[in-house]
Structures are given as structure tokens and as C-alpha cells.
Structure 1
Amino acid sequence: MEGKMMLTALLCIATVAVVNAGDPYFFYTWNVSYGNAAPLGVPQKVILINGQFPGPNINSTSNNNIVINVFNNLDEPFLLHWSGIQHRKNCWQDGLPGTTCPIMPGQNFTYHFQPKDQIGSYFYYPSTSLHRFAGGFGGLRVNSRLLIPVPYADPEDDYTVLINDWYTKSHTSIKNLLDSGRALGSPDGVLINGKSAKMDGKDQPLFTMKPGKTYKFRICNVGFKSTLNFRIQNHKMKLVEMEGSHVLQNDYDSLDVHVGQCFAVLVTADQAAKDYYMVASTRFLKKEMTSTGVLRYVGGSAQASTVLPKAPVGWAWSLNQFRSFRWNLTASAARPNPQGSYHYGKINITRTIKLVNSQQVVNGKLKFGLNGVSHIDTETPLKLAEYFQMAEKVFKYNVIKDEPGAMIKQLTVEPNVLNITFRTFVEVIFENREKSMQSYHLDGYSFFAVATEPGRWTPAKRENYNLLDAVSRHTVQVYPKSWSAILLTFDNAGMWNIRSENWERRYLGQQMYVSVLSPEKSLRDEYNIPLNAGLCGIVKGLSKPIIYS
């Protein structure tokens, strides 16, 4: 087994070492298995990574090579996805059903990826089936290299805070429920780092702070459908980074963290030495659910007050908070040039794509979709079919229109893949015509979230765009009966997922892929398929072509 692990790692490294020479390598072995836990007091089967729930944190630095050998000890195929990591020229490591064959039970696969020219707060999770409902998620941080200045003093310590809604049903029960055509319903509670404090004075602290010191907290919503408001008793939070971008440093009493989003804040231990509660509670649901975790001052002995700070009310408050977020144009990025040198507001838009979400009952089963198409994953990953020039046997390009029209009459169920020209500057509008909260993520890229407003989008709305200092990020929320606009250059060749971060909606079709093909078959634009990549579906057993050089 050890020989197999070493060979797999060496094969993976060999595929990209030619372009990553000189950057440090960090090796991990992860064993994925089932275990028992009771996060909300109800015993249930969860997914462990090396015996941990949540999984281990990855602590890396810009341009590090991260090599993770994942052994699947489950009874189902399994994949891990690294949310927010851009995988420049390397969608093979994205770990999604559209790009990668799953790791079969009893087998392993070695991921090798590099957060190239990235910093920030991210997380990973299982992308197959509904495994995310059982766990398997964890934090992933990318620190700035020492030669790149950071716009705040080094904190005393760096903590990862994973907040999420949670169901006490097993992931298999949830899958059976959704496969039968029924809706999921509301979650059963909220967790902070896989736990919910009992508030009986006996809870152990999740984190400790020394009086007078300042700490960084990386807060990620790794949940399924609920926006969560996060706050700390008696403490201000200074927002310094979100999803890979330094931001203007404003103080907040609480933050709405939408599904899939990560914020980094600085918290100073400037209160009396005692315990305090961190609080996470649901937003925009009929019934508010709250979880707490203990934050303890070193040397303190008094228990935390059971009087918790209240969450804000209404989504207008959340919309105004979104508008307060601004990119820090004076801070350096992950590479030695100022972020503000990229004047995105002065680039001409070459294409506008409006994506409208909807839901319908199709053949007696609930489905969700974008622009009238409910996406289904294929036995042959889309990228593999494309790479082996067999795409026409698996999917069709551009089954949706860039402008879906005023009404979506009927959902069709099929793979949804949009072809986008390499290195074009594109405007994407997410228009939510429903009454529910939406959150969308784009793999492989950061985009500029330039606006979110109530109502329907029209070209006249461009007058309201922030074309100067909108935050570069990878997830954007869309409020009920509202729209959000993003701008980006599609300069990362590969097959990339656009999805709802509401996992009921994603599983039932509210996602799609964008194919970005380089006209020049060159390693400058995209890496070859890794030598250790599995082949499945109609490409199983074929020889791996070496197209690029």
C-alpha cells in the first residue's frame, strides 16, 4: 500500500512539476470513513477524515503545492472539492462530477493543486451525491507569502470557524427523500465547528484569547441552504478579507454569511477576562435557529452571559451590509503588485449572460434549473468527454440562451454546458424571480460583484454598478425577487461549475458548467490530464492523449 501511495503521488507531481518548480510541496494522507456523532444530540452516521468531524484544517501559503492522497473507505463513490481555489489551468483537480471520475470504494486518488497567486479563507467538502450532509468538510486557508505585505499587524493566532445548518436525517435518507420528488424542508439546527454548546456552564471553549491580544477569525458558512448571522458577545469584528480579497477595514457587530461564503475578521480581547459566546443563527427562515460556541479569555473564570446578542431582522439590512463591502485598493494581492491596478470598470463587456432560477415538477418530481434547464451529471465527466473529443456523445453545448425571456415555461432535464470564448470579458446576471434566498458560486475564478438590487435587471441598471472597488470574490448572494451582477474575464481554460450553494437546489439541477477552451493547445493555457486521473464512462480503458506541449 505504501508503494502505491508513493507511486500515485509521484505520478501526480510529474504532470505539473515542469511549471511549479521551486515552490514548496506539502504532503497529506487522508482516510475518509464513516463514524458516529451527535452534533445536535441525536446519534447519526457522519463522514470523518482521519477520524475528525469536521475534517482537518489545511494551512498553506500562496503558491504552495498541496498533495493530498485521499483513501475512500466509504461504501459509495466519493470526491472532494476545494471551494474557492482557482486551480489555474488545472480543472482536473477541481473534484467535481463534471471534471473528475469519482474515487471508488476501497480506492484512492492523489489531488495535487496549487493556490497560485491566491490568499484568503476557503473550505473543502464532498461533491458527490449528498455526502456534504454527513460532513467531510473542513477549513482551507492560504496565507500571504512573507515578501507580500498584509494590511494589518500579525494576529496573535488564526482560528477557523465553520458555521452551518444541519439535519439529523442521514445523508442517504435525504437523498432518498429528494430522489422521490419531495422537498427537503427546514434544517434541524445550527453548528459551530461541528458542535452546539449546551449553555449549561460546562461547555469547553472552542477558542481562547489572551487579554489585550488581537486574533483572526476565518468564518465560513459550509451549510446547505441557510444564510447565517455570526456575532460575538460584547466584541466588534473588523472585516479584513473575504474570499481571497483584502477589503476596507470596517467594524461590524454582526455579519450575514451566506451559504458558501467566507469572511476573515480581527477580534481584540478588550473585554473583561471571562467566557463569551460566539453566536450563529439562521436568517430568512420562518423559524430562527441559533447555535453558540464558547470563546474563553485566558485567566478568566466567569461563565458567559446567557443573554445573547440578537440577529438583525429583514433582508434590507443584509443588502445594505453588502453595499458596505469595498475592495482595499491600496493593499497588495498575493503577488507583488497592487490589486487596484486591475481597472475592471474600464473594460468593454463582450457578452451578457442572464441566469434565471426556477423550480417545477417534472414527471412528478421536484426539479430546479437555470434558464429552463435542470442539469444532470453524466456517467462520463464532461471535461473527459470534451478532452477525448467525444463531447457530442455525452452533452450538447449552449442548450440555454443568454437571455431566457420573461417567462420560463417548462424545465427540461439534461446536461447544461455553456461555451464561453477564452479571455473574453463577460457580464453575468443572476436574476431571482422567486421568494427564496439564493447564493451562487463560480469555480475557477474570482469575479467582481458589482451590484445587487430588488426587481428585474435591465441594461439601464448598469448605471448603478460599482465600477471602482467592488470586491473580487467567488460567491454572491441574490435576495428574493432581486438580481445580482458580476463581471469577470474568462481567462482560465477548463470546465468550470456555476451552481446554487443551496444543496437541495444544486442536487436537483440548479447548476451548470461553462467550457472555456483555449484556441492554442498549449501548457501555457491548460495542463494535460494528470497521469493518475481515473477514466470512467465511455472513455474508460482509452489511452490518455497528450495534446498539449
Structure 2
Amino acid sequence: MQGGKLLTVLVCIVSTVAMVNAGDPYFYYTWNVTYGTIAPLGIPQQVILINGQFPGPNLNSTSNNNIVINVFNNLDEPFLLTWSGLQHRKNSWQDGVAGTSCPIPAGTNFTYHFQPKDQIGSYFYYPSTSLHRFSGGFGGLRVNSRLLIPVPYADPEDDYTVLINDWYTKSHTALKNFLDSGRTLGSPDGVLINGKSGKVGGNNEPLFTMKPGKTYKYRICNVGFKSTLNFRIQGHKMKLVEMEGSHVIQNDYDSLDVHVGQCFAVLVTADQVAKNYYMVASTRFLKKEVSTVGVMSYEGSNVQASNELPKAPVGWAWSLNQFRSFRWNLTASAARPNPQGSYHYGKINITRTIKLANTKNLVNGKVRFGLNGVSHVDPETPLKLAEYFGLAEKVFKYNVIKDEPAAKITTLVVEPNVLNITFRTFVEIVFENHEKSMQSFNLDGYSFFNVASEPGRWTPEKRKNYNLLDAVSRHTVQVFPKSWSAILLTFDNAGMWNIRSENWERRYLGQQMYVSVLSPEKSLRDEYNIPLNTNLCGIVKGLPLPTPYTI
């Protein structure tokens, strides 16, 4: 590493020590991001590798660890990584999306420093720039409980990450050109499990091995682009124990619908005849099912798996009923030494209701997507930087949408879409899907309570159907066709945070927005100062940093 780059890294680390408990350990990584050629579906294509790996390396941490990752961008275009599900308390600077960060220029590096503070669970990371996610650059991210915090199940024999996703054989550049020209991407070409596509009866190397009689944890994440995927294991039940950072009531499932951006952790016991078994991942809610298999093998056995695969469920009502079976485990501990169920969200008064309706229309003859009639576009200057430097009015306007969308939206406005939300208020957000396609949305920086998902249109009377006791705290929400979903949360994490469609075709074409949560105190108790190694671009490039916050 060159001396200047090393100094930058050290300055970044020293400048952030004050943010965290000095007793929390540090872990350092160097990631080299490059192009490579592989053939996940049998057709050679360009992919994005991290340290030569596709998918990228698993990031294994424990609650409150300090993670320092020096990312070298060896691509031919700017690049960013984001960390799906990590809350980045008081620290949206590390979120890694276009609204908060300048991208890492080609041929340079940037050091991320974040801490999964009081957080556990199963997550993943991925590129947030352009359509890079369609070429790879994603990987598993797990946050384990600290040793003193009890977990509501026995330690598994091993802990496996299962990344499932739909896949296209065209490069991200070609797919981007499709969307820029007004065309759609169409159905995916295949499905992958940990970057591989298997065939029934083929020569498939086992992805995972289990010892007879032992129980294993599988962390299943849908890192894809547009397709809900159903995951199942031949002949085995899956006991659901955690989703996106929350312990849940431990029900057994034959299969799980994993919507885009979601992660489930299940326990699987090797209690069947010792041989090979197929894991199956198949698309849902598409005109034509696309699927793949991977092999899970019992240790010491060479008996091939049966060619008779378990079938996927039919219809989205099945998926809705499965969602309704998910319940928070109110007796389990969270990442802190107190019961996670002690937070009685159902007894807090709602101070604001925001309804977000997905919108689709033509702009200059090309398809755009939006929320409440606004199709978001990222300005040259990241929104957070413009706000922090006191130049927001030169880059974007707050509250260009109303909390209640118009009954009929016939046009789309293309501009930055930023809502101003008062710090520490308890807010209800309703996602309303007027289309026949499945939707999935993510909110950075927070976990929220998904209290209801129902067919039809939302009205205030629907609140009587809310689960106000044990809705799962998570960061993604599915919205079924011609349906709505409601979430509740306290906006107590200061920063600039992204709400986005997890359908990346829609996100790229504007179906996303940001919420600005400003602390009036401008204190380090509420938000960290800008890291000294932050890249500056747009109208803030070359400007001196503002006066830092103090306690």
C-alpha cells in the first residue's frame, strides 16, 4: 500500500475511535474489487469479484465489533458497497449509497469503518452503484451474539450461508443500456445458489456437508434483483429461528418464500437416511418458473439424491399466509442483555402517517418508476453531503411529495425525492401496491415492525387488523399484488436514509427516496461527524469541513 493511502486509513481509524467503546475489538480487512470471467449458467460472462471470489467473502462478526474494510476499486468505473440491514447507528456516512457517499473512483480505495451496535442476525452486502449488483460483488454478512447473551436454541454443529438469486447472462453494462433505452429486462435467465447453478442428475459437487444426527444453521438470503424465490430442502424440515436480526417463534416449514432483500436463518437436522439431498431455489410469481438445485450431502455417503424434487407452492395467498405465521420471540434476548420483547411498540401513539404508492409511467417516451408521483434521480452531490455542508437548497428540495398520494397519478416528476422526518417521532408508513407484480422495499438505518400485509387499499380502519404485540422487527417489507403493507418505527437514528424498491430494475429507474432525520442538537450523542477520509464530490469538492459536532 502506498504511504499516502496508509496514512488515510490510519487517520480514518483514529478519527473514529472516539465514536465507539474502546473495549470493543477491531477487525481489519482488505478487499480488492476486480472483473473476472466465469460461467454461472454455462455461458462465459464478466462478473465482479472480491478478492477473486464470486460471491464475495463471507463477513463474519459479533455484535459491537468494529469492522474496518479497505476497499480497492480496480474496476473501470466508480463503485460503492452497501451493507443491507446494518443499522449504522448515528453513522449514515458508512451506508454506502449514492444519497450519502461519493462513489469510490476507479483505481482508488476507500476504508469503511462501522460497528453493528447492539445488533445480531443474518444480512448481506452488495454494490449499490449503477447495476453492478447484476454482475456480483455481493456476499454474506453475519453478526453473532456475544458469548454472554443467551440464544434461544443450542449451538449448531456449523453455520452455513446460502445466497440465492435470480441471474442474467448479459453484463451489467448491457442491462443498464437496456433500461436507459426504455426497454425492460424481462424474466431472468436462471437461478443461482452461492454463485452456482445445478442440474438434477448432474455432476454437482456438494455445497454443504452434514454429520448424521447433527443440527446446522443455514442463513438464507435472497440477494437477487426482482424475483421472490422459494427455498426448500429435499426430505428435511426447516425450523425458522431468526430473520433480519430478530429471533422468532420457532415454527417448522417445508419451504420458505424469500422475497428480494430478505434473510432467514433456519435450523436443519440431519435426521434422514445418510445420502445426498437436493436444495431447490425456484422463482415465484413469474409467468414461467426458473429454478436450480444444489447438493447437501451427509458425511461419508456417496448415494446420489433422488430426482424427485419437492414442489413449490402455488399462488401468492400461500405466501401471505406464511408471512402471517411469522412472530417475534418475546422471551428471547436481543443483542443487549434485556428481552427484545420489552419494547412495547403497540402502545406508542402514531405521530405521522406516510403512504407510499408505487408509480409507473412514461417520461420522454421511456418507462420510469416512482413513489407518489416522483421518480428519484441521484444528484452529482450526495444528499447527505449537501445537507451537512449547509448547501441542501442548491441540490434538492425537501418534501416534494405529500404524505397522502393523489388518488390518481398520471405524470411522473424526475428529481431527488427527500422527506424531512422529525427526530424521534413514531411514524406509520404504508406501502401500497396498485400493480399485479410482487414488490419488496428496504429501509436503511432502521428495523421496523411489519404489522400488517393485506389485499386491497389501505384505510385508517385497517389499523384494527394490525399485530401490535409480536410483529417481527426487520428491515425489508414485502407488498403483495394489489395489496398494502404497514410498518411502524421510531425515527431515532439521525442521518440520511434510503427507502428503495428491492426490484433493482425499478430502483434504477427511480422507485426510491430518502428520509432526512436531523437532530436539532447537532451533538455527537445523536450523530457522528463526517469521517476525515470521506470522498468529496460535486459542489462540496475542495470545501473545508464544517465545524465538528461535540458532546
- State the TM-score, normalizing by the size of structure 2: 0.99
What secondary structure sits across from 2:396 in the alignment? coil
Q: How does 1:245-264 map to 2 (within 5 A)?
A: 245-264=246-265
- Tell me by how many angstroms 1:404 deviates: 0.5
Q: How does 1:184-263 map to 2 (within 5 A)?
A: 184-263=185-264
Structure 2, gaps ≥5 residues long: none
- Tell me by how many angstroms 1:111 deviates: 0.2
In structure 1, the residue matched to 2:143 is: 142
Asked if the contact 2:444–2:497 (Cα under 8 Å) also holds between the matched residues in 1, the reply is: yes
Question: Within 2, Cα distance between the matches of 1:345 and 1:381?
Answer: 35
Question: Within 2, Cα distance between the matches of 1:93 and 1:377?
Answer: 17
In structure 2, the residue matched to 1:14 is: 14
Amino acid at match of 1:469: D
Amino acid at match of 2:185: L
Question: Within 1, Cα distance between the matches of 2:451 and 2:310?
Answer: 31
In structure 1, the residue matched to 2:286 is: 285
Q: How does 1:24-35 map to 2 (within 5 A)?
A: 24-35=25-36
Question: Within 2, Cα distance between the matches of 1:311 and 1:145?
Answer: 37
Asked if the contact 2:83–2:125 (Cα under 8 Å) also holds between the matched residues in 1, the reply is: yes
In structure 1, the residue matched to 2:506 is: 505
Q: Does 1:159 align with 2:175?
A: no
Question: Within 2, Cα distance between the matches of 1:288 and 1:42?
Answer: 20
Deviations 1:323-381 (A, max 9, x none): 00000000000000101110000000000000000100110111000000000011000
What secondary structure sits across from 2:338 in the alignment? coil
Aligned length: 549
Question: Within 1, Cα distance between the matches of 2:440 and 2:81?
Answer: 20
Structure 1 residues 275 and 4, CA, compared in 2 at 3 Å: closer, same or farther? farther
- Tell me by how many angstroms 1:14 deviates: 2.0
Q: How does 1:234-383 map to 2 (within 5 A)?
A: 234-383=235-384
What secondary structure sits across from 1:406 in the alignment? coil
What secondary structure sits across from 1:194 in the alignment? coil
- Tell me by how many angstroms 1:197 deviates: 1.1
Amino acid at match of 2:377: I
What secondary structure sits across from 1:174 in the alignment? helix
Deviations 1:217-236 (A, max 9, x none): 00000000000000000000
Deviations 1:26-56 (A, max 9, x none): 0000000000010011110000000000000
- Tell me by how many angstroms 1:480 deviates: 0.4
Question: Within 1, Cα distance between the matches of 2:39 and 2:4?
Answer: 35
Amino acid at match of 1:56: P
Asked if the contact 2:231–2:257 (Cα under 8 Å) also holds between the matched residues in 1, the reply is: yes
**Percentage of pairs with the same residue:** 84
Question: Within 1, Cα distance between the matches of 2:443 and 2:292?
Answer: 29
Deviations 1:273-312 (A, max 9, x none): 1100110000000000111101000011100111110000
Question: Within 1, Cα distance between the matches of 2:474 and 2:39?
Answer: 34
Asked if the contact 1:278–1:295 (Cα under 8 Å) also holds between the matched residues in 2, the reply is: yes
Deviations 1:205-252 (A, max 9, x none): 100000000000000000000000000000000000000000000000
Asked if the contact 1:119–1:142 (Cα under 8 Å) also holds between the matched residues in 2, the reply is: yes
Amino acid at match of 1:77: P
Asked if the contact 1:27–1:68 (Cα under 8 Å) also holds between the matched residues in 2, the reply is: yes
Judge which range, 338-347 or 4-13, deviates more. Answer: 4-13
In structure 2, the residue matched to 1:395 is: 396
Q: How does 1:412-423 map to 2 (within 5 A)?
A: 412-423=413-424
Asked if the contact 1:178–1:184 (Cα under 8 Å) also holds between the matched residues in 2, the reply is: yes
Q: Does 1:170 align with 2:171?
A: yes
Asked if the contact 2:201–2:307 (Cα under 8 Å) also holds between the matched residues in 1, the reply is: no
In structure 2, the residue matched to 1:113 is: 114
Question: Within 2, Cα distance between the matches of 1:9 and 1:139?
Answer: 24
Q: How does 1:37-48 map to 2 (within 5 A)?
A: 37-48=38-49
Judge which range, 104-113 or 403-412, deviates more. Answer: 403-412
Judge which range, 7-16 or 509-518, deviates more. Answer: 7-16
Asked if the contact 2:156–2:215 (Cα under 8 Å) also holds between the matched residues in 1, the reply is: yes
Question: Within 2, Cα distance between the matches of 1:2 and 1:312?
Answer: 55
Judge which range, 452-461 or 297-306, deviates more. Answer: 297-306
Q: How does 1:54-93 map to 2 (within 5 A)?
A: 54-93=55-94
Amino acid at match of 1:535: L
Q: How does 1:390-539 map to 2 (within 5 A)?
A: 390-539=391-540
- Tell me by how many angstroms 1:409 deviates: 1.8
Amino acid at match of 2:307: T
Question: Within 2, Cα distance between the matches of 1:543 and 1:45?
Answer: 40
Asked if the contact 2:491–2:517 (Cα under 8 Å) also holds between the matched residues in 1, the reply is: yes
Measured on the aligned residues, the alpha-carbon RMSD in Å equals: 0.7
Asked if the contact 2:352–2:428 (Cα under 8 Å) also holds between the matched residues in 1, the reply is: yes
Deviations 1:175-227 (A, max 9, x none): 00000111111100100000011333421110000000000000000000000
Amino acid at match of 2:75: L
Amino acid at match of 1:86: Q
What secondary structure sits across from 1:219 in the alignment? strand
Asked if the contact 1:417–1:513 (Cα under 8 Å) also holds between the matched residues in 2, the reply is: yes
Asked if the contact 1:85–1:115 (Cα under 8 Å) also holds between the matched residues in 2, the reply is: yes
Q: How does 1:116-127 map to 2 (within 5 A)?
A: 116-127=117-128
What secondary structure sits across from 2:206 in the alignment? coil
Question: Within 2, Cα distance between the matches of 1:303 and 1:2?
Answer: 52
Asked if the contact 1:528–1:546 (Cα under 8 Å) also holds between the matched residues in 2, the reply is: no
Amino acid at match of 2:125: Y
Structure 1, gaps ≥5 residues long: none
Asked if the contact 1:521–1:547 (Cα under 8 Å) also holds between the matched residues in 2, the reply is: no
Question: Within 2, Cα distance between the matches of 1:47 and 1:328?
Answer: 38
Asked if the contact 1:15–1:528 (Cα under 8 Å) also holds between the matched residues in 2, the reply is: no
Question: Within 1, Cα distance between the matches of 2:6 and 2:155?
Answer: 37
Amino acid at match of 1:277: Y
Structure 1 residues 170 and 201, CA, compared in 2 at 3 Å: closer, same or farther? closer
What secondary structure sits across from 2:93 in the alignment? helix
- Tell me by how many angstroms 1:8 deviates: 2.7
Amino acid at match of 2:142: R
Amino acid at match of 2:234: Q
- Tell me by how many angstroms 1:2 deviates: 4.7
- Tell me by how many angstroms 1:5 deviates: 4.4
Question: Within 2, Cα distance between the matches of 1:159 and 1:9?
Answer: 32
Judge which range, 163-172 or 404-413, deviates more. Answer: 404-413
Deviations 1:363-418 (A, max 9, x none): 01110000000000110000000000000000000000000031112110000000
Amino acid at match of 1:308: L
Amino acid at match of 2:371: L
- State the TM-score, normalizing by the size of structure 1: 0.99
